Structure 1
């Protein structure tokens, strides 16, 4: 029974981490959430605080991690993930990918737990191969502005495989492509919430370069399903999880304008350094090994996401006092 199984999810108060908490609670697991709240929000998980099978630790995984009791699984999702965040806190981004990953792999070894680490399509950098498959080594500038995130994730993958081969830790690696859905933060530097936020406020949409660069957007429920299947598979090498439905930024902007009923226009700014020109996952491995592929159509997912953003208060509500639930 899953009720006897206990899972630690780092980055639990973030966009993806909170959805993973929901999924594992739904599946009957006992969930331990952990987050230092540097980019996450307790509002994303407040609905879980009253549950007997959920507990939360306010902790930075870059420091020594101790969780009393048994652990069967660890999902390491603690990391800034948006350009605004990792450009603002570059040292913390490097630390959570290196020291944090080291600490959690050590915890997995001590607890004899299986650990899944969240990597990213950014390990491919500005790719010279299209679409991107797992055997591609990438085209990354280690000293560019995005290097703090890209190289943190590449180091994380190397450390994970080292623990698997040397210490025989049971590991999994997921490479996540652009994902969207409720609980994203508006204006976090990622294209989808930025476009929707601008449209809601009646502003022009800001694109970079000439808008011909591409992205591939996966709805969060599909992503969580892929991660869940990967965790319980027997495959230890990286697996791409994302939606191969590629679209240009210009086309995507038009979709957002139509969705929101906005009559504004798209304005263009210079392309940031090392910004990837193409992003599309090859998901052949996920299809073959996990029987997984995305199910939610982009129009459906965008409507759900737009409705979520429209429901947010115009001004942040004073945060509730969650201190009694934090360990």
Structure 2
């Protein structure tokens, strides 16, 4: 067992002590201090996810050979909190500089081959990729958004190659907020999502992955903006319920629970917590981010957030 203290947040909140309890097999850490009782019997799905990652790494070795500098597990298979119901399998690949024109298509082919293999959880594989040059911002290409770059820098778990995380920059808080804001605007402000947020009965019948992401994304984005840290679900919820009260905080707790114990849409209590908490939660998020975006001079994006909020009135 090893013990790691996370850095103090940018706005005075210090994340709790985190104990990383590695499985005997050497897989992903579990055991972060939970807001809810997170099941510890996750070894089988973690192993399944690990096999998918290693299959992808072997294919990457075949495709790129010595151009593959390093491969990393990211996300919940690196820092803990994996859920068999909703978690993605995030893989980071670093290649030598410069990137080739065919690298993007090679990544697409790798994804297609892994998913087509039909292994359990293979359809959840996501690949983030680039080179030291692209991650430093001195070359173009690849796919490594700021939040995922920070995840790699802080928590990336080496699967192959040599560990080069000490050579990576940490994205600025502004980069994290602006990129998160653009992601949220693209994926959470659509007419379809807005209709779900305004209709808790329909929302309760969404699949567990969609539902928990739509509940927890605002919580995670707020955590990152206010602390400068990765928005891991458990820590983000723990922070949120210390600074917010009422229906929004109640919904955040439930959203975390539903990652491990999917809800019953027929349960009237589920609809009630969604009905009372969804819009207040999103208003807290939108008000916070609109203010930050204006302070950063991202006026067009801030205006879009104001219009998004009006759609939820």
Task: Calculate the TM-score normalised by the size of structure 1.
Answer: 0.26
Task: Calculate the TM-score normalised by the size of structure 2.
Answer: 0.27
- Higher relative helix content: 2
